[in-house]
Structures are given as C-alpha cells and as structure tokens.
Chains A and B, each alone.
Chain A
C-alpha cells in the first residue's frame, strides 16, 4: 500500500519558537495533502488542504499566518507552527491523496508537538 511519512514523530519546543513538520508521500505523487489536528481523546479536525503549487485552503477558524503550509513538490508538504504557544500542543496528522480521479487517502503516522 501507499506510504506516507511524517517527520519528526515527536517534538518539544519552547514558547515563541517555530516548528516545521514534514509530510512525505514515499511511493506516489500527491497533488493534494491534508493537515489535521487532534487533541487528546478528541476527533481529528481538518486544518487545511494543501495543493501542490498553489496556496493552501484553510478551514474556518484556522490562522493561516500561524500555521504556514507549503506544498512545494508532489511528494512533500510542510506545516510550520510559528511562534508556538502551549495551546498549540497537539497531535498533527497529515494525509495524502493519491491521484486526481480517486478518493484514496493515506495517513502519516502523526507528529506529537509539545510546547513548553
């Protein structure tokens, strides 16, 4: 099956710093990637849709200047949490959609961010 990786798997950073999370599709090209956020014991909430070569589409309530998304290639999307605060601590999961005609989506293993 298709493989999506995320790096890092865990990160601890100090308040005010920025953190970059990478999402890679390892064996297929993904024109679209999605970024989700999951609080402890909660559901996944879509943050934004990342399209290769264009600006990301953010969901209502998600600050685009705080959560910067770059989808520079067909296999890589990055999420940068800028000026992180403790309330940004969460589990961030990306997914990649394979192809344009099929709705097959593959999830990365997630990144646990802790802001101290």
Chain B
C-alpha cells in the first residue's frame, strides 16, 4: 500500500523567511510519480510539480525548489523568501506509474497536508 506522510500539520513564518515542507512516502512500486499541490482558501488544487521516480535531480522554479531523495523516500519542498500569497495548504501526493491492465493507474495518494501561514 502507498502512504504519504507530511509530519508538519501547521507552519507559521514571517514574510521573507525561507520555509521547507517535508514529505516522506512509502511504496512498493519501483516506478512512481510524486507531486506537490497548493490549495488556497478557494479550495481549488493548484499543481506545482510532478517528479518521476527515476529523476532524482532537484528542481528550482522561481522561489520554489524541490529536493527528491530516493534513499530516504523524501520529497521536500522549499519556498524561498516567502510571501503572504504563499499562505495555503500544501499537499504532497504519490501515484503509481502505468501498469499493464491496472485499473488504479493514476490515482493519487495524498499526504495529510501542511497549513502554511505567512505573516506580513
């Protein structure tokens, strides 16, 4: 069974601080995908990144960066110089890669989410 753990329930920072959101996952699959989503108060999920299990390169996109460590089954997300608009719930998620005849391909297992509050 797949499992995603986001141990940090809530994080509060002051604007311009850097913040790292942790994500640890469990899976028996050798090929899988990892995701991060942002859910602002409006409720709509905003896609941030997808990472294939074979690609362990870290990625940077503006103020966002992701650190994928397969050896520790972690996929952490860092926001640099946080802003008030970054306040939201952030979810880490895992899905299996395509499997021949599989009916569950694509379904996401979400972590519990981390509520990030950035104060001015």
A residues engaging B (CB < 8 A)? 32, 34, 36, 41-46, 49, 51, 57, 91, 93, 95, 97, 101, 103-110, 112
Contact = CB atoms under 8 A, between A and B. Distances in A.
B105 A103 contact: yes
B7 to A, nearest CB: 13
Interface of B: 33, 37, 42-45, 47, 50, 91, 95, 97-98, 103-113, 115
Contacts of A57: 103-104
A105 to B, nearest CB: 6
Nearest to A112: B43
Given A43-B91, A109-B44, A110-B43, 4 more contacts: A49-B107, A57-B104, A101-B98, A103-B106
Nearest to A44: B110
Q: Which of A51, A103, A104 has the most CB of B within 10 A?
A: A103
A110 B108 contact: no
A9 to B, nearest CB: 9
A97 B115 CA distance: 27
Given A43-B110, A49-B107, A103 B97 contact: yes
A114 to B, nearest CB: 14
B61 to A, nearest CB: 15
Contacts of B109: 46
B103 A51 contact: yes
A105 B42 CA distance: 19
A110 B42 CA distance: 9
B98 A103 contact: yes
A103 B103 contact: no
Contacts of A93: 43, 45
Contacts of A36: 108
A103 B95 contact: yes
A105 B103 contact: no
Contacts of B106: 32, 34, 49, 97, 103, 105
A110 B97 contact: no
19 contacts: A32-B105, A34-B107, A34-B108, A41-B115, A44-B91, A46-B107, A49-B104, A51-B103, A93-B43, A103-B33, A103-B95, A103-B97, A103-B105, A103-B106, A105-B108, A107-B44, A109-B44, A110-B44, A110-B45
